[in-house]
Structure 1
Amino acid sequence: MQSPTVSASPADTAAPSWKSDIVSGFLVFLIAMPLCLGIAMASGFPPVAGILTAVVGGVISTWLGSARLTIKGPAAGLIAIAIGAVQELGGGDMKLGYRRALAVIAVAAVVQILFAVLRSGKLGDFFPSSVVHGMLAAIGVIIFSKQVHTLLGVTPQSKAPFALLSEIPQSVTKANPEIALIGIVSLVLIFGHMLLSKKVAVLKRIPAPLLVLVAAVPLGLLFDLDHEHTFTWSQSAYTVGPNFLVNLPGNLLSAITFPDFSDVFSGVSLKYVAMFALVGSIESLLSAKAVDMLDPQKRRSDLDKDLLATGVGNLICGIFGGLPMISEIVRSSANINYGAKSKLSNFFHGLFLLLFVAFAPMLIHRIPLAALAAMLIFTGVRLASPSEFVKTFRIGAEQLVIFTFTLVVTLATDLLVGVAAGIALKTVVHLFNGAPLRSLFKPEIETHHADGRVVLRVKHAAVFTNYLTIKKHLLQQADAKYVELDLSHARLVDHTTMERLHELEHEFSQQGRHFRLLGLEQHRSLSEHPLSARKKPVDADLGLTN
């Protein structure tokens, strides 16, 4: 189901300002280049694979999608899936695992294309917010648990997130002083930039990754990381060398790697096909929706068309050796802040990456891995920061329980099991809060026409599992200028539905139409948050006999 379309504004039909898009594309390129390298290496892929993905996302996928200001490329949110695929499918052979993971990415891309053809962009509205954020927080913990060791210049013994976290004190005592110095300086710069840019306006125009590279590359040259040697610090000997720097092939053509389809229909491969297809699609759809909300011109994307562009891009990446791509929210937000006006900004960002890798690969080789680790740690901390727990608790204590449960199960198992467990728990919570089992997936909806208005009355429950049906009924009223949703007969309205209805109200407003909620006066909010779940007391009149 595609989102409601909005008539084009004069600003939208005017010729795009390509000059603004070139400037924005260049600044996003400065952010994207080190992140693409770091995400690729953290995923068990060659560093150039991340660049390849961003190039395909910018130069090719730009013209297939409708999202005007999104930046497509590799995302930290898929690191956990990618590294898991490489390790499991390779059975200890990382090169074989990489080629088999490419086959999985190609098959998952075909699934994404089928999603788009079947108009499954509506999937972005199905998954509960607390479950999605719990999954993202788990990804943040996984990124942090792996990259902190790289930042310190230590190779950990463990692979599982909890074990990696417990190994951090040991890595701190064994840290390579020169590598750790580069990592800590990079970490201070990137977090310092985040704090100071709120007070110093000029810093907002300077990409934080650029500051990190300006400091880290000279430090790498000072420590002569390009040549393997040993040094003594505090009576202990340490070794440094090119293995602490980014390693790129001599040219792009030699970087092309073809997939190995020999194991693509095994149980393990199919598990990762499902992970890449579902998690990648959900992240991309949610990011595209978020970017639409940030668009100064309030333009809306066709999510099915954007999912098609992502699927086609991923198919190309899987065939030629790249990581999976999504519409990436952090780079897209930066794109808007830098003044992007159209999809040309994504194209230019990809073009600059292509030119840089083609003509200046030795400059990339000078980047210390510890600096890339610092950037990824920053991303991981933001995904799983304490503020995420606080924000979730403010929405409702039950949301924090679901969020935390999803996070812990994901860390203990994998993303697919974690998300499924979170959805199952949320369903149980709805039943506990009085939602009838029969209404969880099939809401009872009555439609009334009165005084030029259309009123839809939802009975029993309005929750994430039946929201898509509710939205379908609302969108069927395309000719109505005034649409109202009466929830007075619903025992429970969950947070995800409240959040989605709030977004829908905004979309109606952009169309010059009016949408409002009715009948929540007798419901009790589960927190003081304006979009918290609403529960009607058992002794309240539901009016179901009317």
Structure 2
Amino acid sequence: MPFLPSPPPFPADRRTAVRDVLASLVVFLVALPLCVGVALASGVPAELGLVTGIVGGLVVGLMPGSSLQVSGPAAGLTVLVYQAVDDFGLATLGAIVLAAGLLQVVLGLLRVGRWFRAISVAVVQGMLAGIGLVIVLGQLYALADAPQPSGSIGKIAGLPRLAVTVVTDPGAATAFLVGAGTVVLLLLWPRLPARLRLLPGPLAAVALATAAAVLLDLPVARVEVQGLLAAVDPPGPAALGRLADLAVIGTVLAFTVIASAESLFSAAAVDRMHNGPRTQYNKELVAQGTGNLLCGALGALPMTAVIVRSSANVQAGARTRLSRVLHGLWLLLFAALLPQVIGVIPLAALAGVLVHAGCKLMPVKELAPLLRHQRGEAAVLVATAVAVVVTDLFQGVVAGLLLAVVKTAWETSHITIEVRELTGGRRVVSLGGHATFLRLPSIMERLEELSREREVELDLSGLRHLDHACRISLENWVVWHNGAAPRAVTVRPPATDRLGGRTGGGGAGG
């Protein structure tokens, strides 16, 4: 599909402006329940999610990078934020987000943004799957207004007790029905006739659940509201001083890597949805970092580019940055003028929205083809997801990256061993491909088996790579065999002498 001429940053005509205004309303309606729900799932006041959404619209929306993707609090960071708040306190969260934003800006200015595209897709999908599982595990308890056990293993172990509570406790059963009804409505929403889907699914589901709770006076927990300005808490000197702690530094790095990767992967996905200008990755990384700098200074949640809001923006017909800027303005007006509306929303309804969002993070459709054609990638995906659930987000992603590197090293260290029989009882053993330490056991076992009773010529001319470990092992094996066997081993070295600098005839060197 040919690219259309690049549109200006803001509408150049009235028709485009109208489309962008209408698209901004759609994005606002999608973002509102998600901002509140992500904040509560992260263990912070609901207003802080709105602050991050406002900054994502009014600040990041104005900056260059990607013209149509929308930024705000993301479900993919709820696990990491919850852990940070639990470990270091809400006061330190702003300092962590601020430091991560500063690091993002530096990385963008150093033109590192494009390198985030080199992260294994299987690791990213595994990370998102693990995050989705953790979100679902936690929000199942919120569906029933029940306290959550600590840790993912504790949440899994507590599921039978939660089921008993839902069955035996009328209050928990009521809340669970509200949350489950929200999930069911979200699942059915795309299948309803278009005329009934005027509102985005998350907003419609939360609105209907809230209306039912209010009209029926249901005994369910509601969102606690303290006001936008009251929720803003800039980090003080004590919180900034904690940035010297090693554990806090690790969290800052985790925020930086995961938020940047999620934003830039989202940008790549959004670019496939439209035929306008492509994302400038380094500028987008600077924009995301600037937004996180401001969010950290306000003590709010970290932000990333969010695929749900971004796809809604594109599908609503947005053409310029105006739509995402205006969505931030609508969030600001709502939080300033109608904060009491948030206070009537049932927590179970927002939990239902997040359960649905968590399930959508799991790459179920992608896993089946991987199992058929790329089992190594599927193993990396599953292992990363399990590691995220069992340990934490940072350790799980590091484990996934290490596994992906090992898998790639194993696949690229392909070695072939061919045997040719010559007259006079001689045997030529030819090695080809990449001889690395990963294949060393199989190489040595094969050579020892072939050279027990016959003279062997070891042909290394077909090797494209011979690492240090293999070189030393082959040299030692030749020396040992020439001293222990009745017939010597001779070596035909690689074209570029990689076997100790010796060329020619026999003995240990060749």
- Structure 1 CA distance for aligned equivalents of residues 364 and 262 of structure 2: 21
Q: Cα distance 1:18–1:391, how it changes in 2: closer, same or farther (>3 A)?
A: farther
Find the counterpart in structure 2 of residue 208 from structure 1.
Answer: 201
- Structure 2 CA distance for aligned equivalents of residues 193 and 86 of structure 1: 34
Find the counterpart in structure 1 of residue 242 from structure 2.
Answer: 263
1:15 Cα offset (Å): 1.6
Contact kept in structure 2, 1:110 and 1:311, CA below 8 Å: yes
Q: Cα distance 1:7–1:340, how it changes in 2: closer, same or farther (>3 A)?
A: closer
Contact kept in structure 2, 1:128 and 1:423, CA below 8 Å: yes
Q: Cα distance 1:347–1:391, how it changes in 2: closer, same or farther (>3 A)?
A: farther
Q: Deviations over 1:112-157 (max 9, x none)?
A: 111111011112221101111001100000100000110112113x
Supply the AA of the counterpart residue of 2:182.
S
Q: Cα distance 1:400–1:60, how it changes in 2: closer, same or farther (>3 A)?
A: same
Which one of 119, 128, 138 corresponds to residue 130 of structure 2?
138
Find the counterpart in structure 2 of residue 224 from structure 1.
Answer: 217
1:205 Cα offset (Å): 4.5
Matches within 5 A, 1:7-18: 9=5, 11=7, 15=12, 17-18=16-17
Matches within 5 A, 1:53-64: 53-64=52-63
1:491 Cα offset (Å): 9.3
- Structure 1 CA distance for aligned equivalents of residues 108 and 196 of structure 2: 40
- Unmatched 5+ stretches in structure 2: 167-171, 416-432, 435-461, 466-494, 498-510
1:316 Cα offset (Å): 0.7
Q: Cα distance 1:544–1:398, how it changes in 2: closer, same or farther (>3 A)?
A: farther
Which one of 360, 363, 366 corresponds to residue 341 of structure 2?
363
Find the counterpart in structure 1 of residue 314 from structure 2.
Answer: 336
Which one of 151, 158, 170 corresponds to residue 161 of structure 2?
170
Contact kept in structure 1, 2:3 and 2:276, CA below 8 Å: no
Which one of 223, 227, 232 corresponds to residue 246 of structure 1?
223
Contact kept in structure 1, 2:6 and 2:277, CA below 8 Å: no
What SS does the corresponding residue of 2:305 show, helix, strand or coil? strand
Q: Cα distance 1:111–1:177, how it changes in 2: closer, same or farther (>3 A)?
A: same
Which one of 122, 128, 131 corresponds to residue 114 of structure 2?
122
Find the counterpart in structure 1 of residue 362 from structure 2.
Answer: 384
Which one of 159, 181, 188 corresponds to residue 185 of structure 1?
181
Q: Cα distance 1:544–1:65, how it changes in 2: closer, same or farther (>3 A)?
A: farther
1:218 Cα offset (Å): 1.5
TM-score, normalised to structure 1, is 0.71
- Structure 2 CA distance for aligned equivalents of residues 391 and 352 of structure 1: 42
- Structure 2 CA distance for aligned equivalents of residues 106 and 172 of structure 1: 40
- Structure 1 CA distance for aligned equivalents of residues 95 and 202 of structure 2: 32
Find the counterpart in structure 2 of residue 102 from structure 1.
Answer: 94
Is 1:25–2:1 an aligned residue pair? no
Contact kept in structure 2, 1:131 and 1:422, CA below 8 Å: yes
- Structure 2 CA distance for aligned equivalents of residues 490 and 416 of structure 1: 39
Find the counterpart in structure 1 of residue 251 from structure 2.
Answer: 272
1:8 Cα offset (Å): 7.3
Supply the AA of the counterpart residue of 1:168.
L
Contact kept in structure 2, 1:147 and 1:374, CA below 8 Å: yes
- Tell me which structure has the larger Cα radius of gyration: 2
Q: Deviations over 1:46-101 (max 9, x none)?
A: 11000000000101111123211111100000011100101111xxxxxxx11111
Find the counterpart in structure 2 of residue 508 from structure 1.
Answer: none
- Structure 1 CA distance for aligned equivalents of residues 241 and 37 of structure 2: 28
1:208 Cα offset (Å): 0.3
Supply the AA of the counterpart residue of 2:346.
P
Contact kept in structure 2, 1:116 and 1:304, CA below 8 Å: yes
What SS does the corresponding residue of 1:246 show, helix, strand or coil? coil
1:7 Cα offset (Å): 8.8
Q: Deviations over 1:351-397 (max 9, x none)?
A: 11100111111111111111110010001111125434324324411
Aligned-pair identity in percent equals 33
What SS does the corresponding residue of 1:264 show, helix, strand or coil? helix
1:425 Cα offset (Å): 1.7
Contact kept in structure 2, 1:205 and 1:338, CA below 8 Å: no
Matches within 5 A, 1:489-500: none
- Unmatched 5+ stretches in structure 1: 1-5, 90-96, 226-239, 438-459, 462-488, 493-542
Supply the AA of the counterpart residue of 1:290.
A
1:10 Cα offset (Å): 6.1
Quick check: 377-386 or 275-284, which moved more?
A: 377-386
Matches within 5 A, 1:438-477: none
Matches within 5 A, 1:270-349: 270-295=249-274, 297-349=275-327
TM-score, normalised to structure 2, is 0.76
Supply the AA of the counterpart residue of 1:83.
Y
What SS does the corresponding residue of 1:133 show, helix, strand or coil? helix
Moved over 6 A (4+): 489-492
Q: Cα distance 1:223–1:60, how it changes in 2: closer, same or farther (>3 A)?
A: same
- Structure 2 CA distance for aligned equivalents of residues 272 and 428 of structure 1: 25
Q: Cα distance 1:165–1:65, how it changes in 2: closer, same or farther (>3 A)?
A: farther
Contact kept in structure 1, 2:7 and 2:319, CA below 8 Å: no
- Structure 2 CA distance for aligned equivalents of residues 204 and 304 of structure 1: 37
What SS does the corresponding residue of 1:432 show, helix, strand or coil? helix
What SS does the corresponding residue of 2:71 show, helix, strand or coil? strand
Q: Cα distance 1:24–1:109, how it changes in 2: closer, same or farther (>3 A)?
A: same
Contact kept in structure 1, 2:243 and 2:249, CA below 8 Å: yes
Find the counterpart in structure 2 of residue 435 from structure 1.
Answer: 413
Q: Deviations over 1:512-531 (max 9, x none)?
A: xxxxxxxxxxxxxxxxxxxx
Supply the AA of the counterpart residue of 2:124.
V
What SS does the corresponding residue of 1:433 show, helix, strand or coil? helix
Cα root mean square deviation, aligned: 2.7
